[in-house]
Structure 1
Amino acid sequence: MQPSSELRVAAVQCPILWNEPEANLRYIEEQLRGQETADLLVFPETILTGFSATAADYADREGRQLEELSSLARRYGKAIAGSLLTALEGQLYNAFFLIDEEGQVQLQPKRHLFAPGGERGYVQPATERCIFSYRGWHILPLVCYDLRFPVWCRNVDKEYDLILVVANWPKPRRAVWQTLLRARAMENLCYVVGVNRVGTDPQGLIYTGDSALITPRGEVIAEAAAGAEEVVCGSLSYEPLSELRRKFPVWADADRFTLEL
């Protein structure tokens, strides 16, 4: 399938209600109902619960939350992405989801679990890396801490066009988040859309968001205001990406690595 010439993306920078999946589902529906221009709405990591060990008690072990998200995507004719805690083959994962307008679900578990947050105690890491497809665009899905690891993000032979990364990335490390979004775009010659939450969680962590849409040259298409609940939209154009790769083929000289999973 040929990529669509334009992909309209909305980064939904928002707070998350702590361990309240139903209320957060209602928030997602409100955003879908009010969005007229975007093809794809991207929400932060663990959008239905927030990020904590107690969130495992509210995980999607029966697949019902994914079913509801799929129903919302079909009802409003919009694709949605984010991450949630869900069970796959009997194991619990923090999984990135992308659900298209027809309700079709693609999942990628988080690979790098955040030990300081206790994540290793309640979810399992990914054992393979998937490349998603949406409207002909090839997409690398990343969940928060995955962004720090360039080997996992390596774009070999132009296998993807866009990185979508969703996060609960706190304020003390905001400069790292902002820097890595741009670095991953430039080193992999791809678009990057990073969506982080805002607000304060019950653990006392503050989140400033700093969500952004970045070009393969590291330029900002759109960026949310720090700390604000805000939806920022932008259109990603395929032709400039293709032309840049043709004129500046650094991808052909990239080092190759073997991942040990």
Structure 2
Amino acid sequence: MDKLKIALVQSHLHWENPEANRSMFEAKIKSMPETVDLVILPEMFTTGFTMKPQNIEVAEGEKTVDWMQNLARETKTAITGSIVFSEKEKFFNRLFFVEPNGNSITYDKKHTFTLAGEDQVYEAGSKKITIEFKGFRFSPLICYDLRFPVWSRNVDDYDVLFYVANWPKPRIAAWDTLLKARAIENMAYCIGVNRVGLDGLGYEYPGHTAAYDTLGNQLAFSNKEEILYVELDREHIFTQRNKLKFLQDRDRFNLQG
């Protein structure tokens, strides 16, 4: 495919209530007036950014994955977002990318948010992944990962970098600035999907879900509860990279674990 239509779902979240959130998002997705190829949901979209994963039944993780697979199949749309997931008595902030055919790919958040104590509760991931879907190559990352440009670096020839997040109001200027910067420096589409509203601890989230093209031009933006639609064009990526060739001049180095 040369073009891809994506829905960015900016929503409030029911605090630590997976069933209510699944029901809410299912209604939103099924009522979308436009046909899309991919739906992107926020970080921890079934619970909010909780540091008490023990409050969530262990079975809820698998329930949500089953729900994503069933809904993706029914709507013929890929669905992605991160959730609280328990495995071998450990907790993960795990993103699932579920395709309509049932295929599921996962990414565990690399940079756990130490300011909130996420590093004390959730296991940090160690592997970047690239997802190939309908002719586009995606690099999925989660919230705090946005602050670390080396981890986001386009050494895998991806076309689309996207972040799912619970990014609070006091630091939203950093979110806006870094999303645009990641698009420019990696010559890729960059998408960030944030939540809105107050969480169970009283923290406020202002949205600012957005999408940028390879030159940093803003394609979509919102600060209210709504679904945004953006169309990605492979010709735009090919044309700009071949015209400007900035990625060919990037510094060469390897990450040391």
Query: Which TM-score tier does this pair reach, normalised by the shorter chain?
Result: over 0.9
Q: Deviations over 1:74-125 (max 9, x none)?
A: 1121111110111345532101111111221110000000011111122111
Change (3 A) 1:56 1:152: farther
Matches for 1:77-96 after TM superposition, within 5 Å: 77-88=76-87, 91-96=90-95
Kindly provide the amino acid, as one letter, of the partner of residue 208 in structure 1. P
2:140 is the alignment partner of 1:144: no
Post-superposition shift, 1:169? 0.2
TM-score by length of 1: 0.93
SS at match of 2:52: helix
Retained in 2: the 8 A contact 1:43–1:195?
yes
Q: Structure 1 residues 57, 210: CA separation in 2 closer, same or farther (over 3 Å shift)?
A: same
Number of residue equivalences? 255
- The SS at the match of 1:41 is strand
Relative distance call for 1:218 and 1:93 in structure 2 (3 A) is: same
Q: How far 1:184 sits from its partner (Å)?
A: 0.1
Q: Does 2:163 align with 1:168? A: no
Match of 1:19 among 6, 16, 24: 16
Please give the alpha-carbon distance, in whole angstroms, between the structure 1 residues aligned to 2:54 and 2:215.
Answer: 39
Question: For 1:114-153, what aligned pairs fall within 5 Å after superposition?
Answer: 114-153=113-152
SS of corresponding position for 1:140: strand
Residue in structure 1 matched with residue 194 of structure 2 by the alignment: 196
Q: Do the aligned residues in 1 keep the contact of 2:2 with 2:135 (CA within 8 Å)? A: no
Contact 1:32/1:78 (CA < 8 Å) preserved in 2? Answer: no
Secondary structure, counterpart of 2:230 in structure 1? strand
Contact 2:6 2:40 in 1 (8 A): yes
Tell me, which stretches of 5 or more residues in structure 2 are unaligned?
Answer: none
Provide the C-alpha distance between the structure 1 equivalents of 2:215 and 2:78, rounded to a whole number of angstroms. 26
Call closer, same or farther: CA 1:258–1:72 in 2, change over 3 Å.
Answer: same
**Range with greater deviation from structure 2 (84-93 or 64-73):** 84-93
Map of 1:253 onto structure 2: 249
Match of 1:29 in 2: 26
Equivalent residue letter for 1:138: R
TM-score with structure 2 setting the length:
0.95
- Aligned-partner SS, 2:91: strand
Matched, 1:10 2:11: no
Would the alpha carbon gap of residues 74 and 111 (structure 1) be closer, same or farther in structure 2, given more than 3 Å must change?
same
Q: Residues 44, 59 of structure 1: CA spacing in aligned structure 2 closer, same or farther, 3 A cutoff? A: farther
C-alpha deviation, 1:147, in angstroms: 0.6
Aligned amino acid, residue 207 of structure 2: G
Aligned-residue identity in percent: 37
Counterparts of 1:45 and 1:235 in 2: how far apart (Å)?
22
1:258, distance to aligned residue in structure 2 (A): 2.1
